[in-house]
Structure 1
Amino acid sequence: MEQLTLFEEIRNFKNHKKYRNNVFKTKAEIEKELQAKGVDKIYYILSFGGGTQSTHLLEQHLKGLIHYDYIIFSDTGAEPQFIHEQVEWWQKRQREYGNTTPFIITHHKSMERGLEEMLMRYINTDYQRFQLPVYCNKIDEETGEEVKAGIMQRQCTVDFKIIPVKQKARQLVLEELGLKSNQRMPSNVSFIIDIGFSYDEIKRINFCQSPQFKYMYLAYPLVEENLTTEDSINFLIDNQMPCKRSRCYLCPFNCDSTGVDWKEIIHEEPLSFLKACYFDEQLRLVQKTRRKVMQSIPYFHYTRIPLSEVYAEQFKHLNEQFKEELQSWVSIWKKEINRKYNLKVA
């Protein structure tokens, strides 16, 4: 108990170097700076993920503790169905509260079907950009064997979650102001977008001013409250609210025994698990062609073993059960890639 009390005393975001170095600021500090610059209209946006932390913020909004002008959920195209069900649960709860804040669902601007489209495009075309944090190996020149080679940068959250929210927020406000999509945002208008990072995720915070839109700023209310991911989960559990953590079914950060794991995907959505195994295998096959900039050998599982081998028994059973559905999904995607990118896919 004494150790816990000591930990609570030192859990203060203001002591963290990222705050001291102005990597991020409190919402009040951002507001004060904007007002000093002559900004008299600030739009408040919730970047809603449908999982645990951003739902904690949404509940605070519904109770009148935080104000938002828009709630925006960016569909990555690879969330498990249970996350979509949680989004629907919160939409229903918002209606029950009588809250009329616009609740918008958006997606990646050019790849509307999200991460599945990105991966299929990467595998089947000359597209080079790769946004998933896969675990990488390389070939040792002396032994010819695979050795660990780090992990790819995690760019998917920014590209498929945060930027689409910013783009949609910009579009909505321009329309509200009677302006066209190609017009500049008025100089007296700014945005503050709340991101559901927790105190234990401060390392994920890299800036407070958007690099895409200079009139947009990012705030982290749960960090300001010194709340951890576990605090938000406990809050949801205590209030009998859905508490599955938001992530994609194919995320390499799925890890056993963390509450965000492959076993939950296998149990809840077996076909999605087979899709992840498909992508995991195909990425290594396409790397062998040497037509990609990324030369590392990618794996979805942290052990750097094929996902289908890590869970060999489950894969064998599920592949027998859902083989036709998986083949149909692959066939439909290849036709879509052919249609959209005007390429013949083998």
Structure 2
Amino acid sequence: MGAGVQSSTLLALSAEGTLPKVDYAIFADTGWEPEAVYAHLDRLEREIAKPAGIPLLRVSSGNLRSDALNPDHRFASMPLHILNKDGRPGMTRRQCTGEYKIKPIKKKVRELLGHPYPSRIPKGVFVEQWVGISTDEFHRAKDADVKYMRNRHPLLDLDWSRADCVRYLTSLGLAETPKSSCLGCPFHGNAQWRHIRDTSPSEWADVVEFDAAIRQGNARANASGSRLLGEAFLHRSRVPLSQAPIDHVTAAERAALRLGEGEADELENGVADGCSPWSCRGDVDAAVQDDFGLAA
């Protein structure tokens, strides 16, 4: 239950009986979701889940933002945009989905099965887990990596696209379902950055402050002397977020960044509208560096 368009659709279809009633909906909270996501999640619980008798469980591995800035905390790195000392661009590894989404979900699933870690789950005991993948991203549908979870993709069974989901949610009065991704996700496009800047000054100040704070790597790496060999940024242009060209992509910027039309569209609209645990949409082609704070 990421609280984005597709997962909100699955919950509503289950609640109304179009799909079988699920036993639980699990929301993995990174601690750094947009205010609109938390508000939407509360509304889903109040208006959709509770009336249908579906418990909406909230799980967490901690606060992603705070952990990145805490020198005493091991940090699972975000896919930050890196500018190396020789001018080459790169990205740090994406570990945040595994640490802040998949890990707490698996922990809760094991508890629901009655076999919390480190107990062994008997053969043949498993949950059927619904994942919100629509037809326009069918290639991202994949199996879980453990035997006690079996993924199913009901939207593919229904042959529903994201547009179908939006129309359905609109019919329920949920037209303003937000994009489900961390507030400071480096995969945001310019449109999402503008939306934060223009609609929520406090959240914009938050991400600008975080962007400046991680310029030389995460706090723990810096404290241990493993400084980032380059500079880290939230925005793809690899300039401070407060100065990033988020209002439009000019021809000169496109040429400077060596972007094709498709890549320019990605810069505007983002890699995609969120990060699903078993189908993180943030796949990138840029060279991935060893670690946040240990880049080569």
Cα deviation per residue 1:196-225 (whole Å; 9 max; x = unaligned)?
Answer: 2333334544x4132xx4321222222343
- 1:125 CA drift (Å): 4.0
Task: Sort the Cα spacing of 1:263 and 1:226 in 2 relative to 1 into closer, same or farther, 3 A.
Answer: same
Q: CA deviation at 1:303?
A: 1.1
**DSSP-derived class of the 2:150 partner:** strand
Question: Compared with structure 1, are the counterparts of its residues 269 and 292 closer, same or farther at alpha carbon in structure 2 (3 Å cutoff)?
Answer: farther
Cα distance in 2 for residues equivalent to 1:91 and 1:173? 23
Q: Tell me the distance in 2 between the aligned counterparts of 1:204 and 1:155.
A: 18
- Distance in 2 between residues matched to 1:312 and 1:236, nearest whole Å: 29
Deviation per residue, 1:261-292 (Å, 9 max, x gap): 01221233322222211221121134795933
Q: Matches of 1:126 and 1:73 in 2, distance apart?
A: 23
Letter in 2 for 1:115: L
Match of 1:185 among 97, 107, 121: 121
**Counterpart Cα distance in 2 of 1:157 and 1:232:** 24
Cα contact 2:217–2:231 (8 A) shared by 1? no
- CA drift of 1:74 comes to 1.1
Give, in angstroms, the shift of residue 182 of structure 1: 4.1
Per-residue deviation, residues 47-94 of structure 1 (Å, max 9, x unmatched): x01121100000111012133111111111000111111011111113
In structure 2, C-alpha distance between the alignment counterparts of 1:192 and 1:254, rounded to whole Å: 31
Q: Structure 2 vs 1, CA of residues 295 and 303 (structure 1 numbering), >3 Å: closer, same or farther?
A: same
Q: Which residue of 2 aligns with 1:87?
A: 41
Unaligned runs of 5+ in 1: 1-47, 141-145, 314-346
1:24-63 deviations in whole A, cap 9, x for unaligned?
A: xxxxxxxxxxxxxxxxxxxxxxxx0112110000011101
Amino acid paired to 1:278: E
Contact 2:133 2:153 in 1 (8 A): yes
Residue 62 of structure 1: SS of its match in structure 2?
A: helix
Q: Which has more helix, going by share of residues?
A: 1
Q: Using a 3 Å threshold, how does the CA distance of structure 1 residues 225 and 158 change in structure 2: closer, same or farther? A: farther
Alignment-mate amino acid for residue 246 of structure 1: S
Structure 2 residue 32 is matched with structure 1 residue 106: no
Q: What are the residue-to-residue correspondences of 1:240-319 with 2, within 5 Å? A: 240-241=173-174, 242-257=176-191, 261-286=192-217, 291-292=225-226, 295-310=229-244
Correspondent of 2:156 among 223, 243, 256: 223
Closer, same or farther: CA 153–194 of 1 in aligned 2, 3 Å: farther
Please give the residue correspondences for 1:1-346 in structure 2 after superposition, counting only pairs within 5 Å. 48-64=1-17, 65-94=19-48, 98-108=51-61, 112=62, 114-121=63-70, 124-125=71-72, 127=74, 129-140=75-86, 146-149=87-90, 151-174=91-114, 182-205=118-141, 207-210=142-145, 213-241=146-174, 242-257=176-191, 261-286=192-217, 291-292=225-226, 295-310=229-244
1:341 corresponds to: none
Q: Which amino acid aligns with 1:183?
A: S
Q: Report which stretch shifted further, 285-294 or 186-195.
A: 285-294
Query: Which string of whole-angstrom CA distances, capped at 9 and with x for unpartnered residues, describes residues 285-314 of structure 1?
Result: 34795933753522101111110112799x
Aligned equivalents of 2:138, 2:229: Cα separation in 1: 31
When the two structures are superposed, what TM-score results if normalisation uses the length of structure 2?
0.72
Which 5+ residue runs of structure 2 have no aligned equivalent?
Answer: 248-296
Identical aligned residues as a percent: 26
Q: 1:279 to 1:219 in 2, by over 3 A?
A: same
Distance 1:264 1:312, change over 3 A: closer
Change (3 A) 1:296 1:208: farther
Kindly provide the amino acid, as one letter, of the partner of residue 107 in structure 2.
Answer: Q
Query: Which amino acid in the other structure matches residue 169 of structure 2?
Result: L
Provide the aligned length of Structure 1 versus Structure 2.
242
Aligned-CA RMSD value: 2.8
Distance 1:226 1:91, change over 3 A: same
Q: Deviations over 1:226-279 (max 9, x none)?
A: 43333322322243214211111111121123xxx0122123332222221122
Counterpart-to-counterpart distance in 1, 2:229 and 2:135: 35
